[in-house]
Every structure is written in C-alpha cells, then in structure tokens.
Amino acid sequence: MLIVKKFGGSSVADKDRIMNVARRCIEEYKKGHEVVVVLSAMGDTTDDLIAKAKEINPTPPKREMDMLLVTGEQMSVALLSIALDALGVPAVALNAFQVAMHTTSVHGNARLKRIDTERIQHELDDKKIVVITGFQGMDKYDDFTTLGRGGSDTTAVALAAALHADLCEIYTDVDGVYTADPRVVPNARKLEEITYDEMLDMATLGAKVLHNRSVELAKKYDVQLVVRSSLNENEGTVVKEEVEVEKKLISGVAADKNAARISLIGVEDKPGIAFKVFNMLAKENINIDIILQSVGRDGTKDISFTVEKDCLDEAIQIIEKNKDKMTAQKVESERGVAKVSIVGAGMMTDPGVAAKMFEALYNEGINIKMISTSEIRITVLIDELDADRATRAVHNAFKLEE
C-alpha cells in the first residue's frame, strides 16, 4: 500500500514532535507500506520569516518572499529525514525542485499544474521513506512559488493523486471532522465518514480542519482522505465520494464568525447592476459570500451580501466611491454577524430540513437576517452574539450527537 501522510507545522514544532512524527511514519513502513510524508514549516517559522522580511521591506517582492519562505519547509523535511535515520530507517528529503512540482507563476498563491513522480518512485523503490516539502512549487522560470493558505494539504492530496496512493492522511491537532465545533457544542460527535461535497461545504463555511482547495482536488482525482490527530491513535474521519446509505440527513453544523454584511439600498432595477458591483469588488480581491437580492419595489431593489470582516472597510470605500455607478440610494453595513450552516448530502431529498432548522432558531429567539441554500447546505446569517447558541440549538434539533 502507498500512503501519503501530511503533518502540519505544529506537529513538527520541536525535536520531540519531530521524533513522534518519525515514529508514526515508521509504524507503517515496518508493515511493508510505501510511505511519502509531506510537511509544513516548523511551528512559527513561516510567521517569523515574514516578520523578518517586513522589517526590511514593508512590501517585499513576492518572488523573493517565496524564495525566503520555502526555506521553512526545507528545514522540516531535512530534520525529519535526519530523525528517521536516527531510528534506523533510510529516508530522503526532497524539495519542490527535486520532485519537480510544477505550478503557475502566481507567487504567494500558485496552483499546482503537474508533479513528476520519477524521483519519488525511484526513492520508494530504494525502500526509503520520502519526505517532501509541502506548500511550495517551482514555475516555468525555475523560480520557487508557494501555494497560499492550506498549501501543504493541497501538496499532499496532489501527490497522492499523482502517485495513485491508496490513502492520503492529513494529520492535524483535532481527531477528525465533527458534527460541530466541540468547543461550542460539547456533545458534538466525530464523523466516521463524510462526502467530498459535504466536506467542501464544511470547509468553506468555517470548519477549519481542511482547506477547500485540497478537498476539491481530492474529489477531482478520487483520492481517499483521512483526517486524524497526530497526538493520538484515534481513527479519524474518512472523506470520500459516497458514504454509507443509512447515514443521517445532516453531517454537521458549521459556524463562521468572520463575516460582515453590506446592503445597497434602492438600487435601480435594471440589468447589469449586480454584475458591476461584484466585478468592482472582485478586482480588488474582495471575496463575496452570501448574496441576496430583494424583489423590486418602486423600480428599485436592495442587494445584500457578506464579506470577510477584515475586508469590510475596504469594500465600503470602493462602494462609496462608485455609489453613482451603482445607482444605490444608501449603503448600509453591519460588522457583528455570523454564518451558521447545516451541511448534508441527505437533505436534498428531505424538504423538512430547512423548516426544522428555522424552527430551532425561532425557539431560541434568534433572528435570521439572510438565508442562502444549496442542494446540500442551508446557511443563515444571524447576530454574531447568537452564533454559539444557534449552533448548539441546531445540533440538538437534528440530534447530531447520536
């Protein structure tokens, strides 16, 4: 069996943790499996490097920044390889150049294009554990790139796809994917299985276990993922295409407090206005999430949408500057909001799910500001202060702890 194992920065933060990771890799190796390990930079290394660069230059050139940051993962892989040798197992550390991990040239946010597997295969044939830098790649100009947030997860999944691995294990500091954040809902239950689509919605909607880019990739190449803890031997959660039939309607509740609402009031009711607004914001890299457009009234309509809290001020500035083009009579905004979502492939077939969610919120006296739905997801926008209470109420209503 060929297994790709990915460990995050906190799992390799110091000597003892590196030895722990080495031991876990050796367990599988001794069973006769082929093992490929993907690592992030140790602990706070990446943040420290960014701080060092910004002290010298508040706006460091992105190519040079990538050149700096990739040293972090290279240190991790070299040290793990040295640790594996100390435990008597041959290992080899490889960076993005040595593997040939081809990406686009967008420094700081590159996309993987192609991974050469020849060198890795050759080292596996030599009975070595192969330790590979996550998060980084090389572009067609022979320059280092980095993959942006969640990059190491993406590297691991992409490697698993390229190597036709039997399994891709993402080790993190939680046991797996839960029906809700266990810090908010004490009786949240760990899921044994979840589908790619459900996981995608959970990731996008605030469950921080896996980055959605890596889930998309796993779905595309049908890579079987397992999310599990590097701190214990618990089984974790399997992410795959189809899960068992007797499963529940709802897989989990996700809450995202990093949201703010903007409303354009009294926009002219003619085609193209919404396009103009969102195009303007997209150009400045401001991501729009839930969008709601009211039916027209007196020839005008209202457009509401959410953005990340950090982007609110910038978004408002852009809109105020272009208020005339947008024909908006008034711009309103609200910072203290949160999204609470239920996710589940089963809800497609059950019209009562939305009603049950709204009822649970009504019983708690929680006011819903906006609603957005997809086939496998219902999201409500509520007051940020109500978020934890809403999560618990919905979790209880669907008996997810059972």
Q: Smallest Cα–Cα separation from 78: which of 97, 92, 99?
A: 92
DSSP for 155-208, written as a single string: HHHHHHHHTT-SEEEEEESSSS-BSS-TTT-TT--B-SEEEHHHHHHHHHTT--
125 binds a copy of itself (CB under 8 A): no
13 binds a copy of itself (CB under 8 A): no
CB 93 within 8 A of CB 131: yes
Instruction: Give the count of residues interacting with a copy of itself (CB under 8 A).
Output: 37
75 binds a copy of itself (CB under 8 A): yes
Question: Considering only residues 70, 162, 370, 387, which one is a binding residue for a copy of itself as defined by CB under 8 A?
Answer: 70
Q: Specify the residue, 16 or 402, whose C-beta has the smaller distance to a copy of itself.
A: 16
Q: Specify the residue, 44 or 143, whose C-beta has the smaller distance to a copy of itself.
A: 143
Kindly give the pairing relationship between strand 252-268 and strand 225-229.
unpaired
Question: Considering only residues 91, 218, 243, 277, which one is a binding residue for a copy of itself as defined by CB under 8 A?
Answer: 91
The two tokens of residue 253 are: 């509740």
129-168 mask for a copy of itself (x: CB under 8 A)?
-------------xx-------------------------
In the block, residue with structure tokens 């609200």:
334
User: Residue 178 annotated as binding?
Assistant: yes
In the block, residue with structure tokens 């008996």:
399
Question: Considering only residues 55, 244, 246, 402, which one is a binding residue for a copy of itself as defined by CB under 8 A?
Answer: 55
89 binds a copy of itself (CB under 8 A): no
Q: Smallest Cα–Cα separation from 333: which of 279, 380, 381, 385?
A: 381
The two tokens of residue 168 are: 């891709």
Question: Considering only residues 3, 38, 83, 174, which one is a binding residue for a copy of itself as defined by CB under 8 A?
Answer: 83
Question: Considering only residues 46, 74, 155, 391, which one is a binding residue for a copy of itself as defined by CB under 8 A?
Answer: 74
Query: Least distance to a copy of itself from the beta carbon of 14, Å?
Result: 10
Residue 364 is given by DSSP the state T
Which residues ranging from 164 to 223 are in contact with a copy of itself (CB under 8 A)? none
What is the Cα–Cα distance from 248 to 363, expressed in whole angstroms? 23
What is the Cα–Cα distance from 115 to 159, expressed in whole angstroms? 7
Per the annotation, where are the binding residues for substrate?
46, 73
Q: Which residues contact a copy of itself by CB under 8 A?
A: 15, 18-19, 49, 52-53, 55-57, 60-61, 63-65, 67-68, 70-71, 74-75, 77-79, 81-83, 85-86, 91-93, 95, 97-98, 119, 142-143
